[in-house]
Amino acid sequence: MSEPSSHYGSAYGSWVERVARKIPDPVIIFMFLLPFTMIVAALMGGHEFESYGEGGQQVTYSIQNMFAAEHLRWLFDNAILENWLAFGNGVLGIILVVMLGIGIAEHAGFFAGFIKRIAQWVPEAFLPLILIFLGMLSSVATDAGYLVLIPLAGVLYAGLGRHPLIGMTAAFAGVSAGFSANLVPGSVDIIVGQTAQQFAEAQGVPFENVLGQTLSPLLMNYWFIATSVPVLALVGAWVNRRYTQRRLASQSWDVPEEENVEDFRVSSEERRGLRATLIGVGVSVLVIGVLVYWPLAAYETEEGRLVRPYVDNIIILIALFFAIIGVFFGVAAGRFKRAWDVVDAMTRQMNTLGYVMVLTFFCFNFLSVLDYSGLGTYITYLGAQALTGLGVQEFPILLIIGFILITSIINIFVGGLTAKWMLLGPIFIPMLYYANPDVMTPDLVAAAYRVADSSTNIITPMMTYAGVILAFMRKYKPNMAFGDMLILMMPYALWFLCVWTLLLLGFYTLGIPLGV
């Protein structure tokens, strides 16, 4: 039988859960913030102040009374099209398009088959390293890492006669704490990149890096997040060996009677699908190559400006890649027997995005009101003045570390990357830039946010899958509490946060571009 949970772990976990449960869902937060912002704007209507505008010059701003008839008309006229669907140059549509391609591959079974196949090839000593590595890559497949890789890791270790939680914690660390690190640009890059550009341009911040080069919303952090993958994989493997394995080595665990290792082995259908996927990769590379070197090839305008259409359309190219390999896998594995099956896969993927639609409606309208009323600019002005008054603009490293620490703490109590970024991004991108415009460019602020947002995912009950992962672990330790899981995952969170922060500071200190 499993050992009893530690009283300290259970008590601490219960305290964290009690505190976290008092915080409303992000949708509720934005539902209240929208009218609250309008009330504050009404109370401060007509207040004028000077702050930075386009190009960095001083501009006089005035806060608008949102209950004045003309401003209420603006809200009703723009709530659906401009404030929601067109927000951030259509960021909602971009998210939906890329999820269509990923949905085909996911519902075809490609990600599950690929993860299982790779895991079977790995020697036991390297399992934690590979599980963390695969966990980080799984973020392109939405739920695949949480729902396939983590339980698979438990079965793999159980089959080896080792404590299943050794593998599950490694996979959990990669999937959740390393969520923002990846070798392939995905939904995180779309959400953060596209909205970062919107936040910057809305308040006169140049969407450029420290060298004055225009940033690509999708790729502005690419070199940093790609480098983070091997670094965090090594750090996580070391934590697993140094802390997790030592803690669990002497503890007993149960094997559920219904557990069947065969369920997690690659089936003959999946083998056929994976072989066909190799052809699919070749076809997708060929198709994308033709597009990149023909209709989407780079060219110079009459003014001499270099335009790279393939970069601007990389979202569609990524969706196309996953759609093609997903079709090849699905047909070979027998998952797709008719064209409607592909349509059904995309439809089911869209069905999972209902929450995103509700969240973005209230969130984007709140942000639009924040910008239109002038309150967003005023908050930025106050923050920049406070930072300048403290003199921290002279110490860019302190700015970076401070922002990471603040965000990582907030992440414990408010779940969801998008919700927090929508709250913090429009404030901190201009605030930190105007505190130190030579250093705190939008790409650096976004990278710092991603470090903080990911690292503490695994130690908060507010993370969407926290309860699901706890349920998976309880299969092997039935009386396990959230506090016990928190204690197991705390070393990963702390080491990821520290090393990842140092890596970001290394990029900054050495002048290495974060992306393109």
Q: What is the pLDDT of residue 492?
A: 96
pTM reported for the whole predicted model: 0.71
In this predicted structure, the answer to whether residue 13 has a pLDDT above a threshold of 60 is no
Domains of the chain, residue spans: 7-20+76-510
pLDDT in tens, 323-342: 999 999 999 999 999 999 99
Beta strands in 259-407 (DSSP E): 299-300, 306-307
Answer whether 66's CB lies under 8 Å from 72's CB: yes
Residues 6+ apart with CB under 8 A from 446: 192, 193, 196, 220, 221, 425, 429
Buried b (16+ CB within 10 A) or exposed e, 226-264: ebbbebbbebbbebbeebbbebbeeeebeeeeebeeeeb
Contact 376, 65 (CB under 8 A): no
Provide φ and ψ at 416, rounded to 5°: 95, 115
Computed on alpha carbons and rounded to an integer, the radius of gyration of the chain in Å comes to 24
Selected residue with higher pLDDT from 15 and 85: 85
Confidence band of 125 (pLDDT split at 50, 70, 90): confident
Residue 252 has pLDDT above 50, yes or no: yes
Average of pLDDT values for 21-30? 72
What are phi and psi for residue 476, nearest 5 degrees?
A: -105, -25
pLDDT of residue 223 exceeding 90:
yes
For 45-93, what is each residue's pLDDT tens digit? 999 988 655 445 677 889 999 999 999 999 999 999 999 998 767 778 8
In this predicted structure, the answer to whether residue 134 has a pLDDT above a threshold of 80 is: yes
Percentage of the chain modeled with pLDDT above 90: 41
Whether the pLDDT of residue 165 is over 70: the answer is yes
Amino acid at 513: P
Confidence tier at 144 by pLDDT (50, 70, 90): low
Task: Give the C-alpha separation, 417 to 394, whole Å.
Answer: 30
CB-CB contact of 129 with 237 (8 Å): yes
What pLDDT does residue 19 have? 58
310 CB contacts (<8 Å, ≥6 apart)? Answer: 291, 292, 296, 297, 298, 317
**Are 363 and 412 in contact, with CB atoms under 8 Å apart?**
no
Q: Which residue has the higher pLDDT, 348 or 314?
A: 348
What is the average pLDDT value for the chain, to the nearest integer?
Answer: 85
Write the DSSP assignment of 398-416 as a string of letters: HHHHHHHHHHHHHHHHS--
Nearest to 469 by CA among 94, 147, 106, 56: 147
Does pLDDT of 383 surpass 50? yes
